[in-house]
Amino acid sequence: MAGHSTYEPQNAGAKWLERRLPVLSLVHGSFVAFPTPKNLNYWWTFGGIAFFVLVVQLITGIVLVMHYTPNDALAFASVEHIMRDVNYGWLMRYLHSNGASMFFFAVYIHIFRGMYYGSYKEPREIAWILGVLLFFLMVLTAFMGYVLPWGQMSLWGATVITNLFSAVPVVGEAITTWLWGGFAVGNPTLNRFFSLHYLLPFVILGVVMLHIWAFHVAGNNNPVGVDPKSDKDTVPFHPYYTLKDLFAIVVFMILFSWFVFYLPNYLGHADNYIPANPMVTPAHIVPEWFLLPFYAILRAITFDIGPIPSKLGGVIAMGGAIAILFVLPWLDTSKVRSANYRPVYRFFFWLFFFTTIMLGWLGSKPAEQPYIAWIQFFTVLYFAHFLIVLPVLGLIETPRKVPDSINDAVLGKSSDAA
Amino acid sequence: MKNLMFKSARALAVVAGLAVAGPALAAGEGPHVEKQPWSFAGPFGQFDKAQLQRGFQVYQEVCSACHGLSYVAFRNLAEEGGPGFSVDEVKALAAEYSIEDGPDSEGEMFERDGKPFDKFPSPFPNEQAARASNNGAYPPDLSLMAKARAALRGFPWFVLDVATQYQENGPDYLYGLLTGYHEAPEGVEVPEGQYYNPGFISGSTLAMAPPLSDELVEYSDGSPMTVDQYARDVSAFLMWTAEPHLESRKRIGFGVMAFLILFASLLYFTKRKIWRDVDH
Amino acid sequence: MEHTDTAEPSRRDFLYIATGAVGAVGAGALAWPFIHQMNPDASALALASIEVDVSAVEVGQSITVTWRGKPVFIRQRTEKEIAEATEVPIADLPDQFARNANLEDGADASDANRATTGKEAWLVMVGVCTHLGCVPLGEAGEYGGWFCPCHGSHYDTAGRIRKGPAPENMLVPPYKFSSDDVVVIG
C-alpha cells in the first residue's frame, strides 16, 4: 500500500516507532499522500460508504451478541429482550438489521460503478476478483444473520437455502445433513450459523484490506479511464478525498437514519416477528431484497437440461450468476475502460442494470405464470450480457476518442460548461 | 457527473414506467387493507395515551380470554411512551393476576400474586392445551401481532411508502380484521366452526368468532362504545405492545436528522473550500 | 479571487472549527447508546427487590437468598453471638463504620447498627467478602462468624471484618421487615 510516502516523522516518538515498525508511513502513504485522480465523481464515494457501513455492522453486531442467546428455545425471546429491555437495544438492532440492507445498497452501487467505468480491466483484475469475493462473503454472512432471530422467515429461509445443496448428485443429502447437524434445520444449525456469522465479518474486513491494497498498487481508476500521467492529474487523498468521502458518508447516514428511525421494519418481513415453527411454512418464502435477483435466477430453470434435473439446474444458474462475475475482466474484450467513450456499451450497461432490477422485483413474486416466463427472459438477458454482449462488443464497437489525460478531460469539460 | 445522473434518472423512469405498465399483478394477494388514521403515524407520531388505556381494557376484557401477551410485563404499562398508568395502578393490576412461581423449599410450584416485573400470564399452559380448548385452532400470542401481519402493498405503493413513511400496515390489518366480519355472500361455503371475514390474511374464513360487539366493553371516558372504536383502540394498543419504544425512536430520529443535515451542510462547504484551488 | 485573501483565513478557520466541533458533538452523542447498552437493563432493574419468608429460620440458623445475582445471608443469631458482638469496643475494629445501607453513611459499627431496631437478633447482609468478592463460609473463622477461604479474612458474628486482608465490614443491603416473618430486600 505504501510507495507514495513522503512521510518524515516529526517527533522523537514517531521516529522511534518508524525505525521499528513503519506503520505511520504506511498509513501516510496509503491514506494521506496517496495520489488520487482529481476527477473522481460521487459514484466513487460508495467504496468508502460501504466500508463505513461494515464498521457499523461490526460494532452493532458485537453489541447485539452481548445480549443475544443462540439457542432455538431462547433466540426469539432474547431478540425481544433486546428490543424491549436493553438500553437502546432497539436502536442497536434496527441499526444492524437495516445496516445489512444499507451495506448491500452501497456495494451494489459500487459494483455497478466498477462495471460502468471498466474498473475491472487490466491491471485491476485482482482488485475486482477480491471485490466479487467480498460480495459473496457478504451474501453468506447476511443469509446466516437473518437466521439468528429465529422467526418464521429465519427458519424457512434457512430450510430452503440449505436444501439447495440436496440438488448435488449422490452426496447432496449427506451435505445437507452435515450442514444442519441433524435431519432438519434446528438448534445445531442455529449455533453454527451464529458462530460463522460472527467469524465471517472479520474475514470480510481482512479481504477489504487486500482489496484496498490491490487497487492502490495500480491507483484508482477514474471516470475518464486514462491512468494519471502527471502531477496535474492527481491530488493527495487527504484532505481532498477524505473530506469528499466524509461528506458523502454523512449524506448516506441521512438515508440510513430514515430507515432506522422511521421505517425500521420496511425492509424486513412481517413473518419474522412470528416465532419459528417447524410445522407451518409461511405462504410466501421471500429472501431479503438484496438477494432477490439471485433467487429469481434460481427459479428460472423449470425444466431438465439433458441429464441435469431442473432443481440442480436452478442451483447451477444461481451459482453461475455470481461466479461469472469472477471472470468478467476476461469476458470484456474492449481496451477502453470508461463507458463515457463507449456509446453502445453504455446502452447495454443500462439494459443490464434494468435486467437486475426486474429480476429483483420478479424474485419477490410467487412462482407462477406469467412471472416465471419473465424471469426466464431476464435470466437469458443477464447471462447474455456477460457471454455475448461483452466479448462481441469489444470487437465491433467504435469507441469515441479518449482524452489524452485526466487534466485534458477536466479542462475540456470546464470550457464546455463555460 | 450531471450527465450520468441524468441518464440514471432516465433509466429509473424507464424501469418505473414498465413496471406500472404491467397488468395489476399484485391483485389477489392477501386481503385489501384500508389505511386508517393513527396518532402514531408519521415522523412526529405519538401514542394517544387514553386510546392505549382503552385498548388495554378491550384486550383485558375480551382478547385475553384466549390470546396471550407474553413479551409484555406489567411494569411496561407504567413506562415512558406507553399507556401512562401510574406505578401504583400497575402494582394493583399485577396483583389481580396469579403467577406460577417456585419451586419453594418443598420443591413444589406455587401460585402468588403478580408483581410489576412479571410478564402477562398466558391463558393456556401450552399450544396443545390452547388447541384443545379452541376446536383445534391456536389463538396466537398478540405481543408482536401488529408487526407480524402485513398485506402486500404492490407496485407502486411499496416505493411511495418509503417517502410517506407508511409503517401502519399491521394495525390497519388488525382493524380491518376486527371490523371485517360479514354474512358470507351467496355461494361461499363457510365450514362448521368457521366465520366469514374477507379481512383475514389467509383465506376468507377463520376460527375466531366475531370477538367484538357494540356496548361490550364499558368505557368510562365517554368514547363511543362501538365495534369500530373498540377495534381502533385495541389495534393501537397492540402497536404499542409490538413497538414499545416507538415514541422515543421517532423523537431521537428527529434530532439525528436535524444534526445530520446541519453536519452535512457544514461538510459540504468545507469540502468546496478545500477543492476551490483544484481544476476539476 | 485575490481580494478575498486577506479576509479569508478567519472565515475559513471558522468554518473548519465549526465543522470539527459539530462532528465532535455528534461522535460524543453517538457513543452514549453504545456505552449505556451495557448498563443493567430495564428487566434487571425491575427485579431489584425481593421478598423472603423467614418464618422457618430458627435461632442459630441461616439461609442464603439471591438478590441482584449475589448471595444474601439472613441469620437469626443466638444470645451468645449477640453478646460477643456487642462486647467488642468499636475502637478495636479494623473498619469502624456500620456499612449499613439503611443508616447514614457515617454510622459506627456497633452491633445495633449492623441489625435493625426491634429485630436485633436478625443479621441481613450481602454475603460477599469485601476483599475480592468471594463468598465467605458461615460459622467459621477465629471469631465464630464467617471466614473467607480465598484469602483468609475473618468476620465476627455481626459480619464485621476482624482479621485478614478485607478492608470493610460486609455490606448490609437496604431491607425492612414488612411483617414478623417477611423481609423485603432492595
CB contact under 8 A, C33 and A66: no
Specify the pairing of strand C146-148 against strand C137-138: antiparallel
Which among A81, A84, A89 is the nearest to C37, CB-wise?
A89
Residue A286 has pLDDT above 50, yes or no: yes
Predicted confidence (pLDDT) at residue B7 exceeds the cutoff of 70: no
End-to-end CA, chain A: 39
Share of chain A above pLDDT 90, in %: 91
pLDDT at B12: 46
The residues, any chain, with a CB within 8 Å of residue A366's CB and separated by 6 or more, are A284, B29
Above pLDDT 70, what percent of chain C?
Answer: 93
C41 and A89: CB-CB below 8 Å? Answer: yes
Measure CA B229 to chain center.
16
Band of the pLDDT at C9, cuts 50, 70, 90? Answer: low
| pLDDT reading at C118 higher than 80 | yes
3-state secondary structure of B216: coil
Residue A191 confidence (pLDDT) above 90 = yes
* CB contact set of A226 (below 8 Å; sequence gap of 6+): A337, A402, A403, A404, A405, A406, A409
Rg (CA), chain B: 25
Please tell me the distance from the alpha carbon of residue C72 to that of residue B275, in angstroms, as a whole number.
66
Residues of chain A above pLDDT 70, percent: 97
Beta strands in B96-223 (DSSP E): 98-101, 110-113, 195-196, 205-206
How many Å apart are CA B243 and CA B239, to the nearest integer? Answer: 6
* Residue B110 confidence (pLDDT): 86
**pLDDT of the residue at B119:** 94
Which of C3, C36, C151, C154 is flagged as catalytic? C151
The pLDDT-based confidence of A359 (bands split at 50, 70, 90) is very high
Grid cell in block for residue B80:
415512558
Question: Measured between CB atoms, does A247 come within 8 Å of chain C?
Answer: no
* pLDDT score at A4: 58
What is the distance in angstroms between the Cα of C139 and the nearest Cα belonging to chain B? 22
Q: What is the pLDDT of residues B95-114, one digit of tens each?
A: 999 998 878 777 889 888 89
- The residue that leads in pLDDT, C7 or A160, is A160
Q: Provide the H-helix boundaries in B22-109.
A: 49-61, 87-95
- State yes or no: is C151 an active-site residue: yes
Q: Output the pLDDT for position C51.
A: 81
Residues B255 and B44 sit within 8 Å (Cβ to Cβ): no
pLDDT over 50 at C1, yes or no: no
How sure is the predictor about A7, in pLDDT bands with cuts at 50, 70 and 90? confident
Helix axes A187-218, A125-147, angle to 10 degrees: 160
- Does residue A224 contact residue A39 with C-beta atoms inside 8 Å? yes
pLDDT at A150 > cutoff 60: yes
**Rounded CA separation C151/C158 (Å):** 20
pLDDT in tens, A233-273: 999 999 999 999 999 999 999 999 999 999 999 999 999 99
Q: What's the CA gap between C23 and C40, in Å, rounded?
A: 29
pLDDT of the residue at A366: 86
**With 90 as the cut, is the pLDDT of residue B193 above it?**
no
Q: What is the pLDDT of residue B112?
A: 86
User: By the 8 A CB rule, do B152 and B30 touch?
Assistant: yes
Residues of A whose CB is below 8 A from B270: 243, 247
Distance CA C130, CA B98 (A): 39
User: Which residues are within 8 A (CB) of A103 and not within 5 positions of it... i.e. 6 or more apart?
Assistant: A50, A53, A54, A57, A138, A142
Mean pLDDT score of chain A, rounded to an integer? 94
The candidate with the shortest Cα–Cα distance to B66, out of B114, B134, B158, is: B134
Dihedrals phi, psi of B228, to nearest 5 degrees: -55, -50
Does pLDDT of C44 surpass 60?
A: yes
Distance CA B280, CA C162 (A): 79
Q: Do A88 and C42 make contact, defined as CB atoms within 8 angstroms?
A: no
Question: Residue B18: what pLDDT?
Answer: 41
* Structural contact between residues A60 and A54, judged by C-beta atoms closer than 8 angstroms: no
Average pLDDT, chain B: 87
Looking at the predicted structure, is the pLDDT value of residue C30 above 60?
Answer: yes
Of all residues in chain B, what percent carry a pLDDT higher than 70? 89
Count of Cβ atoms closer than 10 Å to residue C167 Cβ:
11
Segment (H or E) for A236 = strand A234-236
- Model confidence over A65-124: pLDDT tens digits? 999 999 999 999 999 999 999 999 999 999 999 999 999 999 999 999 999 999 999 999
Name the pLDDT band for A413 (thresholds 50, 70, 90). Answer: low
What distances in angstroms separate CA C177 from CA B206, C58, C80, C127, one per listed residue? 54, 16, 23, 19
In Å, how far are A136, B117, B245 from B91, measured between CA atoms? 53, 9, 22
Q: What is the tens place of the pLDDT at every residue in C73-115?
A: 999 999 999 999 999 999 999 999 999 999 998 899 999 999 9
Give the model's pLDDT for residue A416: 45
Residue A180, all three cell numbers: 444442519
Residue A206: its pLDDT value, please? Answer: 98
CA angle B150, B153, B158 (to 5 degrees): 115
B266 at C interface, C-beta within 8 A: yes
Query: Can you state the angle between helices A75-84 and A89-116, rounded to 10 degrees?
Result: 100
Each residue of B10-40: pLDDT tens digit?
A: 444 444 444 433 333 333 456 788 899 999 9
Q: Distance, in angstroms, between C93 CA and closest chain B CA?
A: 37
**Which H helix or E strand runs over C63?**
strand C61-67
Residues of C in contact with A58 (CB under 8 A): none
Interface test with C, best of B248, B266, B272, B276 (most C CBs within 10 A): B266
Side chain identity at residue A258, one-letter code: W
> Cβ–Cβ contacts within 10 Å for residue C171, how many?
16
Q: Which residue, B203, B169, B163, B156, is CA-closest to B24?
A: B156
pLDDT at B103: 80
The confidence band for A170, taking pLDDT boundaries of 50, 70 and 90, is very high
Note whether A56 contacts C: Cβ–Cβ < 8 A: no
Residues of chain B with C-beta less than 8 angstroms from the C-beta of A411: 279
The alpha-carbon gap from A49 to the nearest alpha carbon of chain C, in Å, equals: 17
Question: Would you call B57 helix, strand, or coil by DSSP?
Answer: helix
pLDDT of residue A2: 43
Dihedral-angle region of residue A395 (phi above 0 means left; psi in -120 to 50 means alpha; beta otherwise) = alpha
The string over A70-99, giving b where at least 16 C-beta atoms fall within 10 Å of a residue's C-beta and e elsewhere, is bebeebbebbbbbbbbbbbbbbbbbbbbbb
Angle among Cα B92, B97, B102 to the nearest 5 degrees reads 115
SS3 C52: strand
- Helix A89-116 with A237-257: angle, nearest 10 deg: 120
**Inter-chain Cβ pairs, chain B and chain C, closer than 8 A:** 30
Tell me whether residues B11 and A353 touch, CB distance under 8 A.
yes
Do A334 and A345 meet the contact criterion of CB atoms below 8 Å apart? yes
Q: Which of B6, B40, B145, B147 to mutate to test the interface with A (most CBs of A within 10 A)?
A: B147
